[in-house]
Every structure is written in structure tokens, then in C-alpha cells.
Structure 1
Amino acid sequence: MKTAFKSLLAAFLLACGAGASQAETLDVAAPDFTLKSRSGENLRLEDHRGQVVMLNFWASWCGPCRQEMPLMNDIYGQYKDLGFTILAVNVDENREEALRFLESVPVNYPILYDPESQVSELYQVQAMPTTVMIDRNGQARYIHYGFKPGYEDDYEQQIRELIRE
């Protein structure tokens, strides 16, 4: 499964360039992982099977992340009762930097920590932020690199599509 995801992602990166910012359609199993959450518990992607998951990789130094996260929080509030969640994976080596960021940009969705970039490498994250939309069956269906105003509309369209399936 991990190899299939990496192969498909590598082909996309070659075709579009690592800095591509448009969404790409995928249909490959999302690699499972377990990370420590802000609440202190371990969260596993597989435990969210049956939900639509927006997997978002972000960093405290990322300006577009600062723009995107409040919009994602609104999306989370709107769709969380319909079988949707966000797992936001922070890639900072120092958790304190992430916590300071979250003081100025508070969010209600789960925050996970990947200080050694193991999950980021598993998903071959090339840009901040990177967002992967995962369907209820655990298939990675869309991937987005970067963020520009208006991307949140694409996120909502994809979330509605995946919730309806």
C-alpha cells in the first residue's frame, strides 16, 4: 500500500512539479500512522475509517498555513457532525513553536505532532501546507499542495462529494 501511494505521488510530482498548487485526483490507500495528539493521546488514521478525513500537514513558520487554518476550522465546524474530521499534522521539530502558533490561530480540530517527519515522509510532503482528502474507505482521493485564497471552496466541494458517497 505504501509503495502504491508513493509511486502515484511520485508520478504526479514529476508531471506537475513539487510546488504544484492545484488539487490532483488520487485513488490509492492512504498509509496508516499513529501520532501523539495535542490532548496527549495517540491518534491512528485507521481509527477514523468510516469518516471523511482531511489530513493536513502544516508548520508554525508557514504563512499560508496561518491563512488556511481558520478557514479549515470553519469547515470542520460545518461538517464534523456529518462524518468528517480534520487531522492536522504539525511538522515542527519543537512542539513549543506549534503551541505558540496555535495560541494566535486557535482551532477546534485534532492537532497531531510529527517532529521527526516520519508521517510527512510517508506521504512525501513537498510543500507547506499539504492536504490529502481521504474517503470513508481509507482511500486518498485528492491531494493539494500549498494554499491560496479560494482553495477552501475546493476543499468544501470535495468534502461534500466524499460525504455523499
Structure 2
Amino acid sequence: MFRPITVFFSSCLLVSLIIVPITGCGDVSDDPAAQTPEQEVVSTEWVKSAPDFKLLSTQLEQVSLSSFKGKVVLLDFWATWCQPCQVEMPIFEQLHHQYESKGFSVVGISVDREKLAVVEPFIENLSIDYPILFADEKVFQEYAIMALPTAVLIDRQGKIRHRFEGSTGSKENYVEVIEKWL
């Protein structure tokens, strides 16, 4: 048990050391036109089955991706120490409520090692009420998370349709893609 945990945390540390310099995980302008190249979002269309997972939630329950079957889901991979993530989360909260009645849900996946001790006060401070889960090494690898924030849009049939890497800083960038798949 000790060895897999050590490997997981070592992998997360290594990825963090790579991610922070690449993504410029610092202050992000609210104006997408003013973003530096390090802050630009990479937005790509995909057509691939989304890997199912079962992860622990902030309510200490196991939640699977398959429990959202039939919905359009935006997976948000984030961390409390990531400034661009902090910009995106209130946008995702708005989108979650705006489109919830149309079968849309945001699911946050935290990569924080400290889990509940750090994440719970953080999401309370931002008034986030969409589901928050804790990443494990497998989901991190299966979704090829190379930067934070990364958002993955999954259609009603469980196919990955779009991937955003980096902060857009703009609700409109997400609205266009979400509405296409609702």
C-alpha cells in the first residue's frame, strides 16, 4: 500500500514540476486578448470514448463517470494552487447552473494531494456546489492531463468531444462548445 501511494505522489510532483513552468500557473487576465502565450488555451475537438472512473468525492462517496450517463459533462481538472483554475471555477459554477436543466453537469476533479483538508475550504470560499472528486493516478493518465486547468467535454453517449488546456478566462468560449453538444 505504501509503495503505490509513494509512486502516485512522486508522479504528481514530477508532473507539477513540468506543468507549472509550461502553463504559467500564475495570475491570469480576465481579458483573453491580454493573455500571454503561456496562458493561451489549447482547444481541440476529440472523438474518443471517455474512460470510466470511480473517484472519491468531497462527500466521501465513490462517484463514477457512468453515473452521469445521458448527460453532457464537463470534467474540470484543477488544483487549489493553480491561479488560472481559480479564474475558471466560478465560470464553471455559472455554466453548471445555466445548463443543468438541459442535461449538463460540471464535475471538478482535484489533483491536490491534501484532498479534503485543502479542497473543502477552497470550494466553500468560491461557493462551488457542483460535484468535486479527487483524482487518482489512473484517471490522471487516462485523460492525459498535462496542464492545469484542463477541461474535457463529454457528450451524452460518453464520447470526448472537446478538450480545453489552459484558462480561457471567458465564459463565452465554453458556451459555444457546450451548446453544440446539448
> What range is the shorter-chain TM-score in?
0.7 to 0.9
Post-superposition offset of 1:71: 1.0
1:121-165 alpha-carbon deviations (Å, 9 max, x no partner): 211101111000000000000000010322x212111111111xx
Percent of aligned pairs sharing the same letter: 33
The residue that corresponds to 1:111 in the other structure is 132
Q: Could you say what secondary structure the match of 1:39 adopts?
A: coil
Q: Could you say what secondary structure the match of 2:148 adopts?
A: coil
The 1-side partners of 2:50 and 2:107 are apart by 13
In the alignment, residue 130 of structure 2 is paired with which amino acid?
A: Y
Which ranges of structure 1 fall in alignment gaps of 5 or more residues?
Answer: 1-17
**RMSD between aligned residues:** 1.4
Post-superposition offset of 1:40: 2.0
Q: Could you say what secondary structure the match of 2:160 adopts?
A: strand
Contact 1:91 1:117 in 2 (8 A): no
Equivalent residue runs for 1:105-144 within 5 Å: 105-114=126-135, 116-144=136-164
Structure showing greater radius of gyration is: 2
1:23-73 alpha-carbon deviations (Å, 9 max, x no partner): 101001011101011122211101211100001100010001111111110
The residue that corresponds to 1:14 in the other structure is none
Contact 1:35 1:113 in 2 (8 A): yes
1:79-115 alpha-carbon deviations (Å, 9 max, x no partner): 011100111000011111212321321211000012x
After TM superposition, the score normalised by the length of structure 2 is: 0.75
Structure 1 residue ranges, 4+ long, deviating more than 4 angstroms after superposition: none
The 1-side partners of 2:121 and 2:129 are apart by 15
Which ranges of structure 2 fall in alignment gaps of 5 or more residues?
Answer: 1-21, 24-39
1:155 corresponds to 2:171: no
The 2-side partners of 1:109 and 1:76 are apart by 7
1:57 corresponds to 2:94: no
